[in-house]
Amino acid sequence: MQFKKITLGLSALMLGSSLYGAVDLSKEANEYRSYVIGQIDKLLEDTEKFVGYLKSGDTKNAKKLYPLARMYYERSEPIAESFGELDPSIDARLADLQEDGKGEDDWSGFHKIEKILWVDNTTKGSEAVADKLLADIKELRAKVPTVKVDAELMLTGAVDLLNEVSTSKITGEEDIYSKTDLYDFKANIQGAQKIYEILKSHLIKKDPKLAKDIEIQFANVNNLLEKHNKSKNGYEYIGYDKLSKSDIKELAEAVNKLGEPLSKMGVILD
């Protein structure tokens, strides 16, 4: 299915101008920063466990934790992607590097470990990659509080998270070895929904119909994802390769329908 890129409306694109001064969103910005710091704290905690499994040769538990740990990163990408070389070092796919003329020797992070775990079905050879991943995430945690969080970052971040879904999750190219794309899909949606919830009260005052539409579309996407979740109180998604073409089309259409109203949230600054 052809997926269209979601773009922000005119008012959102004018963020940082005099419009931003019309609405005080400093409280909301601080709330979002705290949310992301909390996510990165949990990412660091789970990555330490993940590295422990890799170094002890526990392939089974490393595979189980891999998609769960990554969810914290995926929820936080509007801020986590702000730091130059850190994001590709943590989260680049081999295909991303190959587009720049690089190869496996230049590769690091979660997806390199993913290949070792699922293609080689071992933890051997992951130790040095694991050490670098943990060091990168520690550096990320140190830098996250320094990011300037404002309405622009939040509004564009919500849309960028949906575009993450549309450009790599919906095609199945994000986790090509593990087929755990639905975990990332869910986390991106959760990250966008958190931004919406933080800004919700302002949007209801400005355009209650738009707010209601966004809520309906979030519920629709989440309900569709839940159909593929085998856990009753957590996350245990089926492999992306188990989805039918109809399932994928249904999810793509739902994200499109969510993207249309979500891209209009900039009206809160009018």
SS3 sequence of 64-127: HHHHHHHHHHHHCHHHHCCCCCHHHHHHCCHHHHHHCCCCHHHCCCHHHHHHHHHHCCCCCCCH
Cα–Cα dist 174/167, whole Å: 9
What integer pLDDT is reported at residue 6 of this predicted model?
60
* Domain residue limits, the chain: 1-25+150-270, 35-147
Q: Residue 11 pLDDT > 50, yes or no?
A: no
Q: Residue 20 pLDDT > 50, yes or no?
A: no
35-147 folds as A middle domain of Talin 1 (1.20.1420)
Q: What is the mean pLDDT of residues 207-231?
A: 98
pLDDT band at 270 (very low <50, low <70, confident <90, very high): confident
Q: Residue 148 pLDDT > 50, yes or no?
A: yes
Give the global pTM. Answer: 0.92
Given the structure tokens 């070895």, which residue do they identify? 177
pLDDT digits (tens, 9 = 90+) for 75-133: 999 999 988 889 999 999 999 899 889 999 999 999 999 999 999 999 999 999 999 99
CA-CA distances (angstroms) from residue 270 to 13, 187, 202? 12, 30, 11
Which residue, among 3, 38, 19, has the nearest Cα to 155 in the 3D structure? 19
Does this chain's domain 1-25+150-270 share its CATH topology with 35-147? yes
Q: Residue 2 pLDDT > 50, yes or no?
A: no
266 within 8 A of 159, measured Cβ to Cβ = no
Cα–Cα dist 120/104, whole Å: 15
Give Cβ neighbours of residue 240 (< 8 Å, ≥ 6 apart). 172, 175, 179, 180, 181, 182
Helices (H), the chain: 10-13, 26-56, 59-75, 77-80, 86-91, 94-99, 110-119, 127-143, 151-164, 181-206, 208-226, 245-262
The mean pLDDT value of the chain amounts to 92
pLDDT band at 22 (very low <50, low <70, confident <90, very high): low
151 within 8 A of 23, measured Cβ to Cβ = yes
Cβ atoms < 10 Å from Cβ of 222? 16
161 within 8 A of 25, measured Cβ to Cβ = no
What integer pLDDT is reported at residue 50 of this predicted model?
98
What integer pLDDT is reported at residue 5 of this predicted model?
60
What integer pLDDT is reported at residue 111 of this predicted model?
97
Q: Residue 4 pLDDT > 60, yes or no?
A: no
CATH match of 1-25+150-270 with 1.20.1420.20: yes
Q: What is the mean pLDDT of residues 181-192?
A: 98
